[in-house]
Structure 1
Amino acid sequence: MSRPPLPPFTRETALQKVRMAEDAWNSRDPARVALAYTEDSRWRNRAEFFNGRAAIVDFLTRKWAKERDYRLVKDLWAFHDNRIAVRFQYEWHDDAGVWHRSYGNEQWEFDPQGLMRRREASINDVAIKEGERRFLWPAPGPRPQEVAGLGDTPF
């Protein structure tokens, strides 16, 4: 199976890969997201370490059961050959209705077919007031073109 664009990445293809990942995660469909990864993909997400598509689906199912009304924006940080680094922010609320903005960085490594074989994510959560939310499009679904990316978004 191939997942274009393929490495080595150019700025244009790295940006495309980042937007494809953002759109997939904003679908909140664990099976869809998992298809972008190799069968034996290695993950670190915060303090969790796991391997493989089945574990990815399990993880994302748990994640989105906890993180309600999730909306994500990713931004290309750097790229080289078969690697991409991104920064991201996402907003969500818990069962009690408390809103959070999560800030993070990810490092991605791709196989020759364009599937991600390694993902490492460092993430911090900050409680916010509902009126401080920035990501307000209807969800689940991709970020609309008129909603700006992170750019110079303050932390």
Structure 2
Amino acid sequence: MSRPPLPPFDLETATQKVRLAEDGWNGQDPSKVALAYTEDSRWRNRAEIFEGRENIVAFLTRKWEKEREYRLIKELWAFRENRIAVRFAYEYRDDSGNWFRAYGNENWEFDEHGLMRHRVASINDKPITEQERLFHWPLGRRPDDHPELSELGL
């Protein structure tokens, strides 16, 4: 299975890879998102450490059950050969109606087929009011004309 663009990355292909990841996560389909990762992909997400697609699906299922009205923007930070670093922000509300903006960084390593084999994510949540929200597009893919993180001053 191949998941273009493939490493080694240049600015164009690294930017494409980041946007494809963002689009997948905004689609909130755990089984579909998991296909972008190797069968034995290793993850660290906040304090959770796990391995494998089955665990990725379970993690994402739990995540999107708790993080409602989830909207994410990822932005390329750096890249080299088969590695990409991104920064991101996403907004969501919990089941009590409280809004949050999560800020974070991810480090990604890909295999030769363009599948992510290692993901390390550091994330912090900030409570926000509904009036402070900046991500207002309909659920799903962020529109191409929506501002990036840098344009939003985040």
TM class, shorter-length: over 0.9
Aligned-pair CA distance for 1:154: 3.1
Instruction: Name the residue aligned to 1:146.
Output: 145
Output the CA distance in 2 between the equivalents of 1:148 and 1:32: 26
Q: Match for 2:124: what amino acid?
A: N
Output the CA distance in 2 between the equivalents of 1:3 and 1:152: 29
Aligned-pair CA distance for 1:153: 3.1
Instruction: Name the residue aligned to 1:22.
Output: 22
Q: Match for 1:56: what amino acid?
A: I
Q: Match for 2:62: what amino acid?
A: R
Q: What are the residue-to-residue correspondences of 1:113-128 with 2, within 5 Å?
A: 113-128=113-128
The answer on 1:82 being equivalent to 2:82 is yes
Question: How does the TM-score come out when normalised to structure 1?
Answer: 0.98
Give runs of ≥4 in structure 1 deviating > 6 Å: none
Question: How does the TM-score come out when normalised to structure 2?
Answer: 0.98
The answer on 1:69 being equivalent to 2:69 is yes
**Percent of residue pairs identical:** 68
Output the CA distance in 2 between the equivalents of 1:152 and 1:70: 20
Output the CA distance in 1 between the equivalents of 2:32 and 2:101: 24
Output the CA distance in 1 between the equivalents of 2:98 and 2:5: 38
Q: Match for 1:86: what amino acid?
A: V
Aligned-pair CA distance for 1:151: 1.5
Instruction: Name the residue aligned to 1:5.
Output: 5
Aligned-pair CA distance for 1:28: 0.5
Aligned-pair CA distance for 1:76: 0.1
Output the CA distance in 1 between the equivalents of 2:73 and 2:121: 14
SS at the partner of 2:18?
helix
Instruction: Name the residue aligned to 1:48.
Output: 48
Output the CA distance in 1 between the equivalents of 2:134 and 2:81: 33
Aligned residues: 154
SS at the partner of 2:90?
strand
Structure 2: segments with no counterpart, 5+ residues: none
